[in-house]
Structure 1
Amino acid sequence: FTVACNILVLAIPIYLFQISDRVLTSRSPDTLVMLTVVIVGAVMLQAMFDALRRFILMRTAVEMAAQLGAPILSAAARASLHSNGKEYQVLGDLQQLRTFLTSGTLLSFLDAPMAPLMVLVVFLIHPHQGFIVMTSAVLLLIITLLNQRATAATFGEANAHQSKANIHLDSMSRNSQIINALAMIPEAVKIWGKDTANSLRAQVIAQDRNIVFASMSKAVRLLTQVTMLGWGAHLAIEGHLTGGMVIAASIIAGRALGPIEGAIEGWNHVVHARAAYGRIASLLQSSPLNFERLNLPRPEGRLDVERLLFVPQGTKRVVLNGISFALSPGDSLAIIGNSGAGKTTLGKMLVGSILPTSGNVRLDLMDLRNWDPRQFGENIGYLPQDVQLFPASIKANIARMRDDATDAEIYQAAALADVHEMISTLPHGYETFVAADGAPLSGGQKQRVALARAFFGNPRLVVLDEPNSNLDSAGDAALERALQHAKENKITVITITQRPSLLKSVDKILLLVNGTVALFGMRQEVLQALANRGLSIEGGSFGHQIQ
């Protein structure tokens, strides 16, 4: 369609040439009518082909967004485990790429390869005119290259600062209650404003340079047309050209140089689109979701942890060092230790949220990295320390937002977590809608709903991080019953806690001190070892005297 559009656009200069050199000299109305009919048909065809290619580009952009949206979001969710969540902004890159596909800048780039055809036509009119157009085209290409080199770095700097500002804005949105309660709005706005100002400053510099080069390209094109008309008039005086040829050559030259000028004016869109494409490609290519995994049999719940070492990226601090232990299917373990001992980090590592620097976590002998992510997630449960529910009904939250979840599975999870009675007291029961901030549920109710979510699907391994941090006495009793139900169902349960009240519900205890295993064994053996060292656990403090 682009080739057809560019060929048919020659209809207007041909029409002017024929009127000037044939119709006006012959004074033939019939010739004028026939020429007009043919040219009108050509113009209508050109308009139709141009509309068709725009329709195709628009539908291509929509199809691209539809096909890539879900993979990008999945890959971003996976990659965000090891970063600050900036990968979610790649969805904005997809929107930017979709906008570029429907922009006039892309049409200019599509038309640019047809410029040599236009130059050839001008050469056929007269070589002198052709050389003028060629010289102008070379000048415009040089301007394009200079524009690219002058603006690429500053546009990249602007994008980097804008990305930081967006991350901070997302953080403000998630922590709005804290920001308002502690009167932190001025400070938060100041940080966002600093990054935004840096982005705008770099963008202004880049745009200023782009405007200068765009103005230069426009001046070159206009001077080219002036030169074409002036030299063409000279050639016409010498008898080498007719007036119609001069006008036609000028119009065709403008058509040849127009796409190059349009590309220069829209160069910032090209830079942004290319950077967006690079980030999308990098995210999708590096995503572990791209690699197919063998669909293994449903696990039994055996867990083997081998020599775990974890050093966060960009630091030299060892958070976990030489962690090793094993659990049989149906075992229950309490991980205890003071704050900062590495308990939460170990819990995240056991469910695959964090990958160890070295060492292995194996579920039924298979390393977590070699499980299919979907299958692995369906067979484990996780209650994080910072409980977050989705803005949806309690039913949907327990079902992990799955459309194919049955009511029986949801009830089974609620019963297993011993939260059915609590949900029944709510005005709308399982259909109660939970807002983004958890309203209308209290902190303890949110934690119990999240506990039911962890037990959804009858998982074989469940990790609970501080499951009773927000619970009252009734909630504590329900949690103990839930742990007993899990034991009866042969579910391997790991509970991270600083409260000794849960220790009576577990088989084994692991004491973490400064990222290493200080004690591990059966519950009574570990409690006796602590007592022999003169440590009391009644106050809920573990390991502060063990160095």
Structure 2
Amino acid sequence: MNERVNGLSETAVKLDRAGLDGMDRAPPQLDRLEREFQTFMREVDEAAAQLRLKAKPIWFGPVKADIDAESALLKDERRKDPPQQEADAKIIQPERLDPSQENGKFAAGSLKSMDADTGPVRAQPQPSGAPKMGEAEKAEGGSSDVFHRRLGPINLADNLQAGIRAVRRNLLVVMGFTLATNVLVLAIPVYLFQISDRVLTSRSTDTLVMLTILIAGAVILNAVLDAIRRFILMRTAVEVAAQLGAPILGAAARASLHSNGREYQTLGDLQQLRSFLVSGTLLSFLDAPLTPLFMLAVFLVHPDLGYIAVVAALLLLVIAFINQKMTASAFHEAGNFQSRANLHLDSMSRNSQIINALAMIPEAVKIWGQDTAGSLKAQVLAQDRNVISASVSKAVRMLAQVAMLGWGAYLSLEGQLTGGMVIAASIIAGRALAPVEGAIEGWHQFIHTRSAYERISVLLKSSPLNFERLKLPRPQGRLDVERLLFVPQGTKRVVLNGVSFTLAAGESLAVIGDSGAGKTTLGKMLVGSLLPTSGNVRLDLMDLRNWDQRQFGENIGYLPQDVQLFPGTIKANIGRMRDDASDEDIYKAARLADVHELISTFAQGYETMVAADGSPLSGGQKQRIALARAFFGNPRLVVLDEPNSNLDGSGDAALLRALSHAKREKITVITITQRPSLLNCVDKILLLSNGTVAMFGVREEVLKALAPLNATNGRPAVASQTPQVA
């Protein structure tokens, strides 16, 4: 391009030097120069069009009904920061789109596929004419436009169906091997029959050798096939765990927001399901359908012996039915007690420091012991009944074999059977009744597994649909809260009632109020961890429920009142346990939260290991690390719930500097606090009283209105810079 410009410039200079004396020769050169110039300008236009296609566009969200309010807000933003508005005003003109998109036509594969209201939006290859976002945002200090998509299917119940299909598919294969092994089991009674009735009577060594070789081969093949079916069941259990493990944990994490965390025990139910798939009880259930095959073999020996076997089988089925009725309620009660004991055990683990400090170990152990004792008592009752049923069934089976041997001997005396046939029939009948007896002995395991499956099914089917929603532009940070109402499920107590306010992008808000006013509940709703009974929380005009959950989470920060860190390094905790978290982003979050100097004092720095309880960090250090985690990824909305509850003087100063940094980064910050020191760093203040907005406005106006109230309550009148908050 530069060479073309230099060539055109040299030609123009030569023509200028030629002057009027060379006009008779100039026209051909002028024509050539004009053609080259036109060609050059076309290339310039094409290059400019390509540059415009790479420019960052403005994406407009849904239009709000209140046009006047929206216009006023836009005017206010332009007034506050005109240069930024001008820098962002890059709009793609329709005529500059890629040719493949003109006239409403798009290249194949250039769009995102949407399956109406039930389908996910999956990112397809980006159209060549579409703007590529991410680089511009990095230049502005934002995180990359690329975010992690949903890690599971739309409906978590689909995983349950996939697991069921895997079990059914593999069980069909196992049933084929089971049929083969049960047929090969007949080799032993056939061998005994042949030895008794042929070899011993004929005294033929060759016949004995051949029979022995054949039966030995059948026994070896039976062992191989039995091992294969066990291998298949083992891999089936692994496949089920792979299909259901992550969905169960994800569904439990969602459900635990509205419960006591009992759903996490469903992972133990998955372990119970795996254990059953590789147990001998399942093999007994698989062998049971082949009982009629052995019954038929007994009938072929003699009908009388077959009738004895059928009666014994019917008695075993009656015993199994009675056993199920007697043990079901007891096993259910034992499971309930065990769940309560496990919940209490988890609570003891989380509160171990309090239990030790306040000498509460005997009381805690007593409560756990009561629930465990109740579980053991119910289990003993159920197991006693199950043992009785198993003993009766074993007695029935043995008596059936005795009856067959006795009646077979009588038939042999009558000349209707041989001795070998009687022995073979007895062995076959025992093999026919063994699966039923085994099913009765393992009935308690089957009951536990069925209950575990029901809990898994309920958890996955009740989990909200996991839609992968439309990927929206990176939010700017505008927050609209509209008439929030929250009534906890199962109660009639109104925690929040009609809470409404609006924050422009980059504004900061302090939420104050008495204990129990609903401040923490409001904070949870602002980050989407708690859904309102009615009302809306909108980020950049879009309701939080309509944001892609992963994208929304990557663009917000949250510091809860009860700070918890994950086992791992400080680096991993700041990076939200993400494998793709860059060192640059982690360092930037630490600097933004003003915690880099604190981390530098540790011997291992960012690689310092943190335990599940946060050790070796103090409460204030944990809170500051969690603050850096909240600022990771340069979020556009940050909610801090009592961020200085564990901080000392230096920690408070660092927090104030972090809030100043956030303001310079134009991050919308909501701080829930009881301390007046943080009120100097915010633009607006919201006072909650009994779940309603008692006061909301600019900081100076709210502080001025609060001063007489503080004086009325017996407190000295406060200045705007050092307020005393009720």
The answer to which of 15-24 and 360-369 deviates more is: 360-369
Q: Tell me whether 1:67 sits opposite 2:243 in the alignment.
A: yes
The answer to which of 480-489 and 187-196 deviates more is: 480-489
Q: Is the 8 A contact 2:675 2:725 kept in 1?
A: no
Q: Tell me whether 1:108 sits opposite 2:280 in the alignment.
A: no
1:132 to 286, 289, 308: 308
Following superposition of structure 1 onto structure 2, how do residues 320-331 of structure 1 map, counting pairs within 5 Å? 320-331=496-507
How far does residue 57 in structure 1 lie from its aligned partner after superposition?
Answer: 1.0
CA distance change for structure 1 residues 294 and 224 in 2, over 3 Å: closer, same or farther?
Answer: farther
How far does residue 534 in structure 1 lie from its aligned partner after superposition?
Answer: 5.0
How far does residue 508 in structure 1 lie from its aligned partner after superposition?
Answer: 1.1
Q: Tell me whether 1:440 sits opposite 2:616 in the alignment.
A: yes
Instruction: Please give the per-residue CA displacement for 1:164-205, whole angstroms capped at 9, x wherever unaligned.
Output: 000001100110110011111111011001100111111111
How far does residue 66 in structure 1 lie from its aligned partner after superposition?
Answer: 3.0
Give the structure 1 partner of residue 486 of structure 2. 310
Give the structure 2 partner of residue 415 of structure 1. 591
The answer to which of 121-130 and 102-111 deviates more is: 121-130
Following superposition of structure 1 onto structure 2, how do residues 463-474 of structure 1 map, counting pairs within 5 Å? 463-474=639-650
Following superposition of structure 1 onto structure 2, how do residues 386-425 of structure 1 map, counting pairs within 5 Å? 386-425=562-601
Give the structure 2 partner of residue 188 of structure 1. 364
Q: Is the 8 A contact 1:498 1:541 kept in 2?
A: no
1:321 counterpart SS class: strand
Within 2, Cα distance between the matches of 1:284 and 1:26?
67
Give the structure 2 partner of residue 99 of structure 1. 275
How far does residue 437 in structure 1 lie from its aligned partner after superposition?
Answer: 2.5
Q: Is the 8 A contact 1:289 1:373 kept in 2?
A: no
1:364 to 540, 543, 548: 540
2:498 counterpart SS class: strand
What letter matches 2:412 in structure 1?
A
2:515 counterpart SS class: coil
How far does residue 431 in structure 1 lie from its aligned partner after superposition?
Answer: 1.2
How far does residue 219 in structure 1 lie from its aligned partner after superposition?
Answer: 1.0
How far does residue 440 in structure 1 lie from its aligned partner after superposition?
Answer: 2.3
Q: Tell me whether 1:453 sits opposite 2:661 in the alignment.
A: no
Within 2, Cα distance between the matches of 1:494 and 1:29?
95
The answer to which of 224-233 and 310-319 deviates more is: 310-319
How far does residue 503 in structure 1 lie from its aligned partner after superposition?
Answer: 1.0
Give the structure 2 partner of residue 204 of structure 1. 380
Q: Tell me whether 1:430 sits opposite 2:617 in the alignment.
A: no
The answer to which of 518-527 and 42-51 deviates more is: 518-527
Q: Is the 8 A contact 1:338 1:541 kept in 2?
A: no
2:394 counterpart SS class: helix
How far does residue 370 in structure 1 lie from its aligned partner after superposition?
Answer: 2.9
Give the structure 2 partner of residue 154 of structure 1. 330
Instruction: Please give the per-residue CA displacement for 1:192-227, whole angstroms capped at 9, x wherever unaligned.
Output: 011001111111111111111111111111111011
Give the structure 1 partner of residue 684 of structure 2. 508
What letter matches 1:499 in structure 2?
R
2:410 to 234, 238, 247: 234
Give the structure 2 partner of residue 251 of structure 1. 427
How far does residue 449 in structure 1 lie from its aligned partner after superposition?
Answer: 0.7
What letter matches 1:365 in structure 2?
L
2:255 counterpart SS class: helix
Give the structure 2 partner of residue 220 of structure 1. 396
Instruction: Please give the per-residue CA displacement for 1:97-148, whole angstroms capped at 9, x wherever unaligned.
Output: 1111111111101111111111111111111111111111111111111111
2:509 counterpart SS class: strand
Q: Is the 8 A contact 1:75 1:289 kept in 2?
A: no
CA distance change for structure 1 residues 297 and 146 in 2, over 3 Å: closer, same or farther?
Answer: farther
Give the structure 2 partner of residue 260 of structure 1. 436
Within 2, Cα distance between the matches of 1:85 and 1:231?
62
Give the structure 1 partner of residue 179 of structure 2. 3
How far does residue 389 in structure 1 lie from its aligned partner after superposition?
Answer: 1.2
2:552 to 364, 376, 380: 376
How far does residue 458 in structure 1 lie from its aligned partner after superposition?
Answer: 1.0
What letter matches 1:341 in structure 2?
A
Where structure 2 has 5 or more consecutive residues not aligned to the other structure, the ranges are: 1-176, 712-716
How far does residue 438 in structure 1 lie from its aligned partner after superposition?
Answer: 2.0
2:475 counterpart SS class: coil
CA distance change for structure 1 residues 251 and 523 in 2, over 3 Å: closer, same or farther?
Answer: same
Q: Is the 8 A contact 1:154 1:206 kept in 2?
A: yes
Q: Is the 8 A contact 2:248 2:267 kept in 1?
A: yes
How far does residue 322 in structure 1 lie from its aligned partner after superposition?
Answer: 1.4
Give the structure 2 partner of residue 120 of structure 1. 296
Within 2, Cα distance between the matches of 1:234 and 1:300?
95
The answer to which of 294-303 and 504-513 deviates more is: 294-303
Within 2, Cα distance between the matches of 1:468 and 1:252?
77
2:594 counterpart SS class: coil
How far does residue 299 in structure 1 lie from its aligned partner after superposition?
Answer: 2.1
Q: Is the 8 A contact 1:337 1:541 kept in 2?
A: no
CA distance change for structure 1 residues 540 and 470 in 2, over 3 Å: closer, same or farther?
Answer: farther
What letter matches 1:85 in structure 2?
G
Instruction: Please give the per-residue CA displacement for 1:215-242, whole angstroms capped at 9, x wherever unaligned.
Output: 1111111111011111111222222211
Query: TM-score if structure 2 supplies the norm length?
Result: 0.73
Within 1, Cα distance between the matches of 2:566 and 2:631?
17
Within 2, Cα distance between the matches of 1:369 and 1:480?
32
How far does residue 300 in structure 1 lie from its aligned partner after superposition?
Answer: 2.1
Where structure 1 has 5 or more consecutive residues not aligned to the other structure, the ranges are: none
2:616 counterpart SS class: coil
Instruction: Please give the per-residue CA displacement for 1:18-42, whole angstroms capped at 9, x wherever unaligned.
Output: 1111111221111111111111111
Larger radius of gyration: 2
What letter matches 2:646 in structure 1?
N
1:352 counterpart SS class: coil
2:508 to 327, 332, 347: 332
Instruction: Please give the per-residue CA displacement for 1:319-344, whole angstroms capped at 9, x wherever unaligned.
Output: 11111222222121110001111111
Query: TM-score if structure 1 supplies the norm length?
Result: 0.96
The answer to which of 99-108 and 424-433 deviates more is: 424-433
What letter matches 1:350 in structure 2?
L
Give the structure 2 partner of residue 493 of structure 1. 669
Q: Is the 8 A contact 1:284 1:290 kept in 2?
A: no
Give the structure 1 partner of residue 699 of structure 2. 523
Instruction: Please give the per-residue CA displacement for 1:373-426, whole angstroms capped at 9, x wherever unaligned.
Output: 222211111001111111211111101111111100100111111111221122
Within 2, Cα distance between the matches of 1:404 and 1:169?
35
CA distance change for structure 1 residues 7 and 291 in 2, over 3 Å: closer, same or farther?
Answer: farther
Give the structure 2 partner of residue 17 of structure 1. 193
Count how many residue pairs are aligned between Structure 1 and Structure 2. 543
Give the CA RMSD over aligned residues: 1.6
What letter matches 1:460 in structure 2?
R
How far does residue 367 in structure 1 lie from its aligned partner after superposition?
Answer: 2.5
Within 1, Cα distance between the matches of 2:487 and 2:377?
37
Within 2, Cα distance between the matches of 1:312 and 1:542?
28
How far does residue 295 in structure 1 lie from its aligned partner after superposition?
Answer: 3.0
Q: Tell me whether 1:276 sits opposite 2:276 in the alignment.
A: no
How far does residue 314 in structure 1 lie from its aligned partner after superposition?
Answer: 2.8
How far does residue 291 in structure 1 lie from its aligned partner after superposition?
Answer: 3.7
Instruction: Please give the per-residue CA displacement for 1:25-63, whole angstroms capped at 9, x wherever unaligned.
Output: 221111111111111111100000001111111122123
Within 1, Cα distance between the matches of 2:484 and 2:539?
15
Give the structure 2 partner of residue 38 of structure 1. 214
